[in-house]
Chains A and B, each alone.
Chain A
């Protein structure tokens, strides 16, 4: 059972890092425009 003492904090920290990524993405406008990027991708330069 002692493995939990290692695994739970590790999972929390990893999860926390992902929340950090999400907040950063939201802040930098990743979710502001969900319609154009998929179209833009089809057009090569």
Chain B
């Protein structure tokens, strides 16, 4: 900024510069990779956000911060916060966009901190309850890994018997040492598997944990007996087994936590505020503190904070959240308006009738939250588990009986134990979680976050993809559709002083076209009418023309038009074409007029179009297609898409959409694009293939190994080699997912 080559585009940027400069952080301007977002005004309502009180009197909170565009943003935010008097510690994560702040409540409060964040141009939002990272599994894994490596060493000493004579007292020492090392692994590290098996038995389900637990317990008990009798057991295999299984479980848990965290970040909300009129005064208050009967003022571009009756003024309200329609609706005195909708134009005074959970939107969100708990379908591994357990037990009994009859008890027990140890379904249990973790990761890198692997896998089998229009196929916000550079330049020169949605659209287009903004003089904004002022020495007015049209007129009678509208996402047509080539039928479902829907369909290449259908109609359409035997994926963004999202086989929400649609969906598109749907389909297919490979391999291995053990060919040494090898193949099979997806992407 030392060169002063840049000019401040608005007062907010100047404030942001003052803060950054004041904190001695000018380096930010030299290092940033992207221009900063435009700063917002003061924020209120943060006093109601719950914080953590520390024993020493300090307060802590974790916030989701939007608008962090590069590492420099994180750096500047962290340092500005840290240099704010009263703040004890501030950490901002680039990966998740979360800030954790600790401060002294006697010197500063959360509202002031949130205002400071907003003044830099970032938007803080409050997070709900967070899941604490699970350390217990990590402890168990650490201890098991230590023991497993030691067991390898002590067993190697015992296998030395194969080549030369080991003195008996040393052999005994190694045996007892092995038992001592294996004991914490079997009794403590493996506990989660016992717990899972018992929980499964209580619900009368034969869970994968059951054969695992059986295998571990039998191996350990055999190890105890073998140590007492002075023969060798399978304790080294036991250690390796528990390490691999715990590692798989940890990966699975990490993936799941990441998805839940991501969904929660998207559902985080900023406190809503309202301007309440008390007597002749206006005060800004948190929306929750509004009471029924209060009068609130709503200006153009503001979101309504409560349901109510219009008592004064008139304007245009955008009801997209409720109806999904982009076109604003005219309201006047006596009309009812609904919280969460946006006043695009005009000015209203509203008498509050319902707030928060009681409002129309609040009730809809509550219904969706109840529907959000969809329950997990059982995985293929869990379906195999009971048969696997049963089969193993039958083979074990046959082995016992057969060898008893042939050679007597001693050999019979040894071979039966070998069967049960070798049958421990380590590879089988790892098959699904590892491939799923790889698949979820591949989909997430392509912008689609899934709540669970089940939903991802279903994407591969989807026959029909139904898309909502506003906010899904289109960007869902006003943008400039048509205007020449000169018109845009003057319009932007006037609109730079306004916070109206049309102003935002015009300024964004001007900056996208790299048009330098002229400085307007004597610019006035007339609420609900438009802007006027002098640009380049001429007096201009900017007024609403027709629907979605703005007229720019000069004092000399020149007239220019800026056309606005909802624009189709850039990647929509390409994604639709690619998905169609993949054999998917695509449909556009919208509450909007037929001609708008047809125009969008023509632009994107969507063939099936259903226009003018309400939320229930969308859900009914989805159910009808499902009843005809096809699998349906529905992608939408609004609260009004909730029923359709819940009725589809796979529901995908847009991360930019309503928080409650994120809650009800199986997955969330985390970027403003449609392409992630294609990426997810490829990831799902690769993931399915990897799971099939893993299952085929691990079942094949188990059949072979169990047969060999039943015939008496497997001893501790063979087992120690076979077990990690089988799991190694599964790990390799899962690691191919990302590569398979990349190969398909290159081929396309």
Residues of A within 8 A of B (CB): 1, 4, 8, 12, 15-16, 18-19, 22-23, 26-27, 29, 31-33, 35-36, 39, 42-43, 45
Shortest CB-to-CB span from A43 to chain B, Å, is 5
Residues in B whose Cβ lies below 8 Å from that of A32: 133
Bitwise, B89-107 to A at CB < 8 A (1) or not (0) is: 0000111100000000000
Bound-complex Cα distance A45 to B150 (A):
43
Q: Is the CB of B94 within 8 A of A39?
A: yes
Bound-complex Cα distance A27 to B96 (A):
21
Q: Identify A33's interface contact among B71, B95, B139, B167, CB under 8 A.
A: B95
Q: Is the CB of B135 within 8 A of A26?
A: yes
Closest A-B pairs by Cβ, 4 of them: A35-B95, A26-B138, A22-B142, A32-B133
Q: Is the CB of A43 within 8 A of B138?
A: no
Q: Is the CB of B142 within 8 A of A43?
A: no
15 contacting pairs across A/B (C-beta < 8 A): A8-B173, A15-B146, A19-B146, A22-B142, A26-B135, A26-B139, A26-B142, A29-B133, A31-B133, A31-B138, A33-B95, A35-B95, A39-B71, A42-B71, A45-B79
Shortest CB-to-CB span from B40 to chain A, Å, is 26
Bound-complex Cα distance A31 to B133 (A):
9
Q: Is the CB of B138 within 8 A of A18?
A: no
Q: Is the CB of A23 within 8 A of B142?
A: yes
Residues in A whose Cβ lies below 8 Å from that of B173: 4, 8
Q: Which residue of B lies closest to A30 (CB)?
A: B138
Q: Does B177 contact A (CB under 8 A)?
A: yes
Bound-complex Cα distance A4 to B172 (A):
13
Q: Does B693 contact A (CB under 8 A)?
A: no
Residues in A whose Cβ lies below 8 Å from that of B150: 12, 15
Q: Is the CB of B94 within 8 A of A36?
A: yes
Excluding A1-B167, A16-B146, A27-B135, 19 further A-B contacts by CB distance (< 8 Å) are: A1-B170, A4-B170, A4-B173, A8-B177, A15-B150, A19-B143, A19-B146, A23-B139, A26-B138, A27-B139, A31-B133, A32-B133, A33-B93, A35-B93, A35-B95, A36-B93, A42-B71, A43-B75, A45-B79
Q: Identify A43's interface contact among B71, B139, B170, CB under 8 A.
A: B71
Interface SS of B by simple majority? helix
Q: Is the CB of A36 within 8 A of B95?
A: yes
Chain B: number of interface residues, binned into ranges: 10 to 19
Residues in A whose Cβ lies below 8 Å from that of B138: 26, 31
- B142, B143, B146, B177: which has the most chain A beta carbons within 10 Å? B142
Residues in B whose Cβ lies below 8 Å from that of A27: 135, 139
Bound-complex Cα distance A23 to B138 (A):
8
Residues in B whose Cβ lies below 8 Å from that of A43: 71, 75
Residues of B within 8 A of A (CB): 71, 75, 79, 93-96, 133, 135, 138-139, 142-143, 146, 150, 167, 170, 173, 177
Residues in B whose Cβ lies below 8 Å from that of A15: 146, 150
Q: Which residue of B lies closest to A12 (CB)?
A: B150
Bound-complex Cα distance A42 to B72 (A):
11
Shortest CB-to-CB span from B145 to chain A, Å, is 9
Bound-complex Cα distance A16 to B150 (A):
11
Shortest CB-to-CB span from B158 to chain A, Å, is 14
Bound-complex Cα distance A31 to B254 (A):
11
- B139, B170, B177: which has the most chain A beta carbons within 10 Å? B139
Shortest CB-to-CB span from B235 to chain A, Å, is 16
Residues in B whose Cβ lies below 8 Å from that of A16: 146
Q: Which residue of B lies closest to A35 (CB)?
A: B95
Shortest CB-to-CB span from B540 to chain A, Å, is 45
Bound-complex Cα distance A31 to B143 (A):
16
Bound-complex Cα distance A4 to B139 (A):
29
Residues in A whose Cβ lies below 8 Å from that of B143: 19, 23
Q: Which residue of B lies closest to A29 (CB)?
A: B133
Residues in B whose Cβ lies below 8 Å from that of A18: 146
Residues in B whose Cβ lies below 8 Å from that of A12: 150
Residues in B whose Cβ lies below 8 Å from that of A22: 142
Residues in A whose Cβ lies below 8 Å from that of B146: 15-16, 18-19
Bound-complex Cα distance A36 to B173 (A):
46
Residues in B whose Cβ lies below 8 Å from that of A8: 173, 177
Shortest CB-to-CB span from B62 to chain A, Å, is 12
Q: Which residue of A lies closest to B142 (CB)?
A: A22
Shortest CB-to-CB span from A11 to chain B, Å, is 8
Residues in A whose Cβ lies below 8 Å from that of B142: 19, 22-23, 26
Bound-complex Cα distance A31 to B138 (A):
9
Shortest CB-to-CB span from A23 to chain B, Å, is 6
Bound-complex Cα distance A1 to B171 (A):
12
Bound-complex Cα distance A39 to B142 (A):
26
Shortest CB-to-CB span from A41 to chain B, Å, is 11
Bound-complex Cα distance A29 to B138 (A):
11
Q: Which residue of A lies closest to B150 (CB)?
A: A15
Shortest CB-to-CB span from A24 to chain B, Å, is 10
Bound-complex Cα distance A22 to B147 (A):
14
Q: Which residue of B lies closest to A32 (CB)?
A: B133
Shortest CB-to-CB span from A27 to chain B, Å, is 6
Residues in B whose Cβ lies below 8 Å from that of A42: 71
Bound-complex Cα distance A44 to B393 (A):
61
Bound-complex Cα distance A8 to B153 (A):
11
